[in-house]
Structure 1
Amino acid sequence: MKPVKNKVVIIGAGMVGSAVMNSVLTLGLAAEIVVIDNNINKAKGETLDASHTTSFAYSPNVLLRVGDYEDCTDAQIIIMTAGPSLKPGETLDRLLLAEKNVSVMKSVMSSITKYTKDAVIIVVTNPVDIVTYLAQNHFDYPKEKIIGTGTLLDTARLRRILAMKYSIDTKNVHGYVLGEHGGSAFATWSLVNAAGIPYKEFHKLLGSKEPVDTDATLAEAKDTGLKILELKGYTSSGIAMSVSRIVKAVLLNELSVLPVSTTLDGEYGITNVALSIPCVISSDGISQKLEVPLSENEIAKLNVSANNLGKILDDLNIRK
């Protein structure tokens, strides 16, 4: 069935799923938002609470409701947030988390594919690169229609940190965090600039005496998620807005270039692993994967990410 324009299905009504629902609602682009969760009462409470915001001026009159997988039949976008996440104080066992959420993703994708292979699927569940690979390569679903949030939030954090340090609008800072959404993520310092000013010139031209400390800046960007987890018990706002950024690009066919996770097919000499590189996002999903110019050192770091993720895929016995 042809997707209904601006119908969004969110799978999972937990902290992230509910934040995504509210963020997508605030965008004013969705006509219908359907929430699916095993805890039906939680889903009902979230949609009921959010539905009352539509009474206010400048709030879109969106239909919010609880549904089931049959609602995927005519969805334009499906957002996957279900599955356990890291809790404060827990040891980060990525393989254990991967095993649990691979199982969840298998169940979810099996349910989705009963009803559609036309919707764009945005994968949020961690470890996002592993789960994205599974979804793209094991269910005969068009790969370009599955997008992992990947390092989009890491990139936003890096840009924000630099913008705050040098007192400029975050949206004028450019550059990416690429690779794994995890420990081996790296910043493309060869591309980082603010309004065309290379990062090495920030302290000279942007009114600060301190040059960019690349190691400390990247570490802060990568550690922010764990810091938020320790402080408030979970992360939600940043990832919700990251998802909404992708949703907007799809719904408006923006052709925006965003760093998202997808299976590489020879880009930078890497194959058969999903990780983040800049991609063109359209109404069809990922319409193009871009091999932006990287330094030799950065390409080496991308390969480190690929090897790390490949080992997990092999340990889980899901790499084709």
Structure 2
Amino acid sequence: MAISYGKMVIIGAGKVGSAILNSVLRMNILDEIVVVNRNQKKALGEVLDASHTTAFAYSANANIHVGGYEECADAQIIVVTAGPSIQPGNSRDRMVLLEKNINVMNDIMEQITRYTREAIIIVVSNPLDILTYIAQKKFDYPANKIFGTGTLLDTARFNKMLGDLCGVDAKNVTGFVLGEHGSTSFIPWNTVNIVGVPFAEFEKQFELKEKLDKEKLLHDTKVIGLDIVELKGYTSSGVALSACRLIGSIVRNEKSVVPVSTVLSGQYGLTGAAMSLPCVISKNGIDRVLELPLDEQGKSDLQKCYEHLRTAIESVYSE
């Protein structure tokens, strides 16, 4: 079936799925949005609530409705948010969701692949890197058409923190958080800059009173999402905008360079895992995976992250 460009299916109508629905509506770039959820009453409630916003001048008259997996047949984009998420008081490790969400992802991919292998799938559910890897490998989905939001939100958080410390707009910071969306993520400090000013010169150029603490910045970047869960019960706004960043890049064929979780195919000599690296995102999905020039510390951090993810994959999936 031919793709209906401008059609997106959101699988999961929980807090994240509903946040993505409402956020992407504000972008005015989609013609049709379908919400698929086990609890159809919940899905219908979210759809009705969101659909009423299209009567306002700032919102395009998109067709929003509840549907089943058959709606994936001609979808341009499918966003997967279904499955349990970390709750306040639980372990602060997304890996606790692994076994439950692998079963959820298997069920979802079985349904999706009955109808399409052409749609671009964006994985949001956690633990994101392992789910992305298994979904691509087990179902032989085109690798450029399935990826996770990965460390895109971690990167936004890091850039915001660093921008605040230096007194500049976070959008002027170029700094990637790479690897796992989790405990072994890392920052290649030799590539961090603000409009070309390298990280090593930030104290001088921005007249900082205190030396920037790399370990604290990385630690705070890793834990802030889990802190938000403890404070408000869940995260939704940041991850919704991360998904929207990717949706916009696909629909508008932007060829944006953003870190997303992709199945490795020899980058840095590695295979057998998915992790976040800078990727060129277009209407085709991933056009290209970029390899940043890592220093020795970056190479070591990358290897530790890879080994951690491989161990987790081998514990739940036999290839």
User: TM-score with structure 2 length normalisation?
Assistant: 0.98
CA drift of 1:211 comes to 2.6
* Counterparts of residues 298-313 of structure 1 (less than 5 Å): 298-313=298-313
* Counterparts of residues 231-250 of structure 1 (less than 5 Å): 231-250=231-250
Residues in 1 aligned to 2:185 and 2:163: alpha-carbon distance in whole angstroms: 20
Contact 1:273 1:306 survives alignment (8 Å): yes
Match of 2:13 in 1: 13
Contact 1:201 1:211 survives alignment (8 Å): no
Residue 311 of structure 1 aligns to a residue whose secondary structure is helix
Contact 2:93 2:183 survives alignment (8 Å): no
Match of 2:263 in 1: 263
User: How many residue pairs are counted as aligned between the two chains?
Assistant: 319
Q: Render the CA deviation track for 1:39-64: whole Å, top value 9, x for unaligned.
A: 11111111110111111112111111
Match of 2:223 in 1: 223
Residue 264 of structure 2 aligns to a residue whose secondary structure is strand
Residues in 1 aligned to 2:207 and 2:71: alpha-carbon distance in whole angstroms: 53
Change (3 A) 1:95 1:266: same
CA drift of 1:92 comes to 4.0
CA drift of 1:200 comes to 1.8
Residues in 1 aligned to 2:91 and 2:176: alpha-carbon distance in whole angstroms: 28
Residue 216 of structure 1 aligns to a residue whose secondary structure is helix
Contact 2:51 2:64 survives alignment (8 Å): yes
Residues in 1 aligned to 2:92 and 2:204: alpha-carbon distance in whole angstroms: 40
CA drift of 1:183 comes to 0.5
Change (3 A) 1:54 1:288: same
Please list every run of 5 or more consecutive structure 2 residues that lacks an aligned counterpart in the other structure.
Answer: none
Residues in 1 aligned to 2:207 and 2:74: alpha-carbon distance in whole angstroms: 52
Q: Which runs of 4+ in 1 moved over 6 A?
A: none
- Which residue identity is paired with 1:228? I
Match of 2:193 in 1: 193
Contact 2:98 2:127 survives alignment (8 Å): yes
- Which residue identity is paired with 1:150? G
Residues in 2 aligned to 1:198 and 1:317: alpha-carbon distance in whole angstroms: 41
CA drift of 1:96 comes to 4.1
* Counterparts of residues 98-137 of structure 1 (less than 5 Å): 98-137=98-137
CA RMSD of aligned residues (A): 1.0
User: TM-score with structure 1 length normalisation?
Assistant: 0.98
* Counterparts of residues 49-68 of structure 1 (less than 5 Å): 49-68=49-68
CA drift of 1:210 comes to 2.0
Residues in 1 aligned to 2:40 and 2:51: alpha-carbon distance in whole angstroms: 16
Match of 2:27 in 1: 27
Identity of aligned residues (%): 52
Residues in 1 aligned to 2:303 and 2:276: alpha-carbon distance in whole angstroms: 12
Residue 57 of structure 1 aligns to a residue whose secondary structure is coil
